[in-house]
Amino acid sequence: MAGPGGPTRPGPGGDKSWRWVLALLVLALIAVVIVPQLLHKSTVTSVSYPEFVRDVHAHKIGSATVDNNTGVITGKLTSGQSYTVNGPSPLTSTELQLLSGIPARYLTPTQSAWATWLPTILLLVFLFGIFMWFSRRAQGQMSGIMSIGRSKAKLYTTERPRTTFSDVAGYNGVKIEISEVVDFLKVPGRFRDVGARIPKGILLVGPPGTGKTLLARAVAGEAGVPFMSVSGSDFMEMFVGVGASRVRDLFQTARKQAPAIIFVDEIDSIGRKRGAGLGGGHDEREQTLNQMLSEMDGFDPTEGVVIIAATNRPDILDPALLRPGRFDRQIVVPLPDLDERLPILRVHCKDKRVGPDVNLELVARGTPGMSGADLANLVNEAALHAVRRGAVQVEMVDFEAARDRVLMGQRRESLVLSDEEKERVAFHEGGHAVLAYVLEHADPVHKVTILPTGMALGVTQQLPIEERHIYPREVIEDSLAVRMGGRAAELIVYGDLSTGASNDLVGNTELARKMVREWGMSAELGPMAWGSQGMVFLGEDLMHSRDYSEDTARVVDAEVAKILREQEQRALELLGRHRGGLDAVARGLLERETLDGQEVGKLVDTAYGAPVHRNGTAKVPTFSPDAHPATPPGPEAG
């Protein structure tokens, strides 16, 4: 079927009718050559010529028919048996005298015109078929070359069923803001009477997996107007100028269909800043971007065409693309919060057989920081786990296992630790767990295990108590101390260090450097901040690596080291005070391999001789039924 981008060209697996024609021609040739011979060899006996002469003298030949062209003699014996003889050609007087004594006929057959011309006709037909096949392939290639500048956008008309806003769970604020486009396309007169101008372009910005493409499909379904969908990479081609030609063709098609919607997915592939990057700009990409800028708000304005684009990298887009008159409005599609994760989970559980013990509200509380795609993957992993354990429905234990697999990774059953390694891992993870329980501002422990999971030999998983949007300094420092817990526990118990804390040190160093460079949490540097280094492919970090002096760099390094050493000393002091709890948690891990947050709290309180927290209640992880609302998870890999 021909699409808006031109007729569909037959590919390598397209039209194969020529193969059937060739097969039929071969079968016809075989039939012409073999079938007559098979029919001729029915019940005829082949006789040698000397034997034929003896039969003539013995009066055994009843009749004979001689072919003057070939010398073949056929006939019947007196017994009635048919025979054939390859006689001499032409016949001599001796053979003629021999045959004079029996009833004989002499024939000179002529070959029919059909038998003469059939091989020639078949050969001509075969050559004509080959010629037509090459001609059709050449036409297909030529049509492909001529249509290379046409747009590859897929056109969806109003007759086709599609997604609506009711199919998009959550994001009510985003749907309200984007519904103005739907109202304008449905009732444009209401806006024109007031003099309001609808934004020409709407840019959906958000992390991957938040449903930007789904929202665009919902807009098309609600508006009931032609919807043209294209990816940013569809404009790029090896020939310079093809992208610009496809942009022109796209907008021409949209103007004919107006009012219409154009959706460009991953627009950052063609909308990057011009004149940036190593080796100058990319001619094809920049020409494509220039043509899009001209079409959106150039000399010939586009009426009744709304452009919706999606990207997760708005920082690299060209400023001319984001100015008023082009993409007037940016709509942020963030990660879903607690109130939005619950309806998203319900949507993805519609086609699943869910058990009565599944509480999706608890699952939503225990999955902070997950996007819509992550939640869909979580539900699917839970269903797969239910199938693996032989269940007929998805239960709460499946969601728990799926959540651990998504956040911490798959358990490595093949990896077997020695007793010494297992003991060291138990104390390492016990250090993380004890500090996460003891420190007031640390996120509570959800689960701690010494089973090799993902890339780690053990994992301490934390879940926050409440949703945070601003992180005070004490929260960050407690997080640093918890990460130092594994290293501090090894120093206290063994008096030396191992490689198990490498991941902790990398995360702590990055967090401490942000405190000093970006958040102004250093007394030496004061209220000064330097952002992260620019990316080379944008040309922002090509000539220099940082925007501060060498003296400042030394101060930054010294402050980072000071923060890390202070938190390490703090971790050592706290674990020394709660050495009994550390030993108890390590023994529990060696015996059971996995402990939850409540068990860790009971072990620490029992070893301490009194409740660690003043109110006498331990911090409870959010995934348990008695939990409080939660947000972004912070799994701690040891």
Per-residue DSSP letter, 374? H
* CA separation for the pair 279, 537 (Å, rounded): 10
Sign of CA dihedral 537, 539, 542, 548: negative
Q: How far is CA 632 from CA 51, 212, 461, in A?
A: 107, 21, 12
573 given a catalytic annotation:
no
Q: How far is CA 196 from CA 176, 201, 296, in A?
A: 18, 15, 18
* CA separation for the pair 217, 220 (Å, rounded): 5
- Token output for 49: 């010529």
Active site residue: 429, 477, 490, 636, which one? 429
Q: How far is CA 359 from CA 362, 363, 375, 389, 395, in A?
A: 6, 7, 15, 20, 9
Sheet containing strand 201-205, edge to edge, reads 154-156, 227-231, 260-265, 305-311, 201-205, 329-332
User: Nearest-CA neighbor of 198 among 224, 178, 218, 221?
Assistant: 178
Per-residue DSSP letter, 93? H
The residues near 123 (Cβ < 8 Å, ≥ 6 apart) are none
- Token output for 286: 């920049």
* CA separation for the pair 131, 138 (Å, rounded): 11
* CA separation for the pair 370, 386 (Å, rounded): 22
Compute, in degrees rounded to 10, the torsion defined by CA atoms 412, 418, 421, 426. Answer: 70
The residues near 12 (Cβ < 8 Å, ≥ 6 apart) are none
- Name beta bridge partners: 331: 204
Compute, in degrees rounded to 10, the torsion defined by CA atoms 427, 432, 434, 435. Answer: 140
Q: How far is CA 555 from the centre of its chain?
A: 45
Q: How far is CA 431 from the centre of its chain?
A: 39
Contact 265, 211 (CB under 8 A): no
Would you say how long the chain is, in residues?
A: 638
The residues near 352 (Cβ < 8 Å, ≥ 6 apart) are 379, 383, 394
* CA separation for the pair 220, 263 (Å, rounded): 9
* CA separation for the pair 613, 158 (Å, rounded): 63
**Residues annotated as part of the active site:** 429
